[in-house]
Amino acid sequence: MKIKFEGLNCPNCAKKLEAQLNKIDGIESAKIDFFKGTIEFESKSEKKALKEVVKTAKLFEPNIKISTANDGKKDNTKFIIDCSLLALGIVLGLVSIFAPLAPWAYWTMLFASAILMGYTTYYKAGRLLLKGVINENLLVTISVFGAIAIGEHFEGLMVIALYQIGKVLEGLAVSKSKKSIEALTNFKPEFAVLLSGDKEVKVSPKQIKIGDVIIVRPGERVSVDGIVESGSASLDLQSLTGESLPVAVKEENEVLSGSIVLDGVLKIKATKKYEESTVNTIINLIETASEKKSKTETFISKITKWYTLGVIVLSVLVFGIVMLATKNFDTAIYRGLIFLVVSCPCAFAISVPLSYFSGLGNASKNGILIKGSNYLDACAKLNIIAFDKTGTITTGEFEIEKIESLKEEYSENDIIYLSSLGEQYSLHPLAKSIIKENKKELVEVANVKEIAGEGVYFTFKNKEYFVGRKSDNLQGTVVELFENEIKIGQITLKDKIKDNSEVTCKNLKKLNIKTVMLSGDNKDVASSVANEVGIDESYGELLPQDKYDWIKQKIENPNNVVGYVGDGLNDAPSLMLASVGFCMGIKGNSASIEASDIVIANDNITKIPLAIDISKYTRKIVWQNIILSAIIKVTFLTLGAIGVTGMLAAVIADVGVTVMAILNSLRALNYKSKK
């Protein structure tokens, strides 16, 4: 049975839930796909098992919504209600703190505010505590009611308000990211035309077997990997390699599923089933990369369980020691309360996320959209950044590098003009670059014939011309011009390098970050571009899974924190797998934008070292807050326990360190980077 879920926004929680589901009697092979939002399990009694699944899921996330896989409607009612209650709670809290009210009205509004804002947190804390789990929910619950109990009402309400707002934003971000899989609909081949004898039968790609022959016409996608049996054509491989230049194929050439036939008709013999083909492999990588991706946990999340438990144990211990020493119950309670006041983690719970929010806000002002504090934290630790070439280091637009005339009577301008006469009838991307260079007025020519994968034949002034490529031994991107079957010239083109690519690499080296280029283009071109912009290493002729495997190998070393920069749909698996994925916001594919962790809004890659610099500064602020708060708290915990300081000093210490940490956090918002 397969069911859908919404509202569970924590990958680690999903893994824990999966483990619990597999422990339920009567349920076999329970599996959670966090990315797709589905739970799949087997049971002899599905109705009974479904109730147990829902019950167990509610333990991990009370707001989770379970529905059948066929229910395509998304119900936002629960989310709207929760947000409305949170807003109402904030309003009541402000009224209770600042409005002159009778005592009964004050306390009613105060507790109503605390309950409305955090009822889900308190519920989870209680349910998980019964299971022996102490986590951030219990930490926040104790913080809120502990602060209220000792008179710090505003501080208690502020903690739960900020915590719940953060959870709402986190849920929205995760929900939006999950939609990235929907952008792959156009990438999947919807059908295959199977040749059965003399008949053509339209079937699902999954029905194609190895050895079957399919026919693919212009505008159609190749459904399975195979070998060309007959025909020739130009293929658009941009979805697979990210390269904008079409690739010519003919008999005996290998073709990959997902590529689009631009011209010509191909008969292809399948060499793989759809499940094993390139297009399905890429989609599977996208779906599973989020599960394999290492997420950086914040310090607070790591210590929550032990901090909370330690505070409770130590406060009871202080009460017991003072009680034994003084034999005075009131004094023991008083000092125990002092311990709780000072140890209240408000400074951590407020200032640490505020530091990250400030860093995120600073980045946003600079056109750097970071999708969460964990990515900002990971960005500060990067030591390797891998770049895609086309659309990232280069513009994806070709420019003429060199024009060669092989006959004295023809100038370079003549070579361009004659080539343009034929290219004006072509839709090939290189044709536009050549025509753009031409300065003469073009006229009509006769006997125009374009051969897919070769070029254009035409007649001009009683001479036969061909513009395209016939030679196999030429390096780089070269267009040849023939007159009466004699080569008279050639034009070398190159993908234009972005003006800011070189300075970006220099700034990354100043940050001690190694740079690498992973390209689908040929090795010589990739190496040439890398050398020109100052990239340390380059690899060419890579498919998406090759880039994915390279990153996977690197991140297996715990000393490597790898960033990947890309913009195409083919980059989505690598963007998701990398420690931090950077995507271009203007030219970036929608699926890659969703799959990435950081989006560069204006496609200016100089923003990448800027993002790293802001991240490093923000992380420094975070650790300043943690260390400052810890020192002050430990000092006053000790003084309070031995009776040197009283409740007033405890409150001042707690509130004071919180205010100092908050003010320090705001420095990250106004930081001016030199990168």
Task: Give the residue numbers marked as catalytic.
Answer: 388
Say which amino acid occupies 463: K
Contact (Cβ atoms closer than 8 angstroms) between residue 557 and residue 295:
no
CA 37 – CA 9 distance, rounded (Å) = 10
Asked if 453 and 249 touch (Cβ cutoff 8 Å), the reply is yes
The helix (H) or strand (E) run that includes residue 175 is: helix 153-178
End-to-end CA distance of the chain: 53
Determine the Cα–Cα distance for residues 512 and 506; give it in Å rounded to an integer.
10
Q: How far is CA 327 from CA 331, 335, 646, in A?
A: 9, 13, 18
**Pairwise CA distance, residues 154 & 140, whole Å:** 14
Instruction: Determine how many CB atoms are found less than 10 A away from the CB of residue 338.
Output: 28
Q: Confirm if 386 and 550 have CB atoms less than 8 A apart.
A: yes
d(CA 139, CA 118): 12
Beta strand pairing call for 266-270 and 226-230 = antiparallel
Chain-centroid distance, C-alpha 153: 39
Report which of 338, 344, 308, 306 is spatially closest to residue 322, judged by C-alpha positions.
338
Sheet containing strand 213-216, edge to edge, reads 199-203, 192-196, 213-216, 266-270, 226-230, 254-255
Cα 584 to Cα 588, 591, 606, 673, distances in angstroms? 5, 12, 12, 21
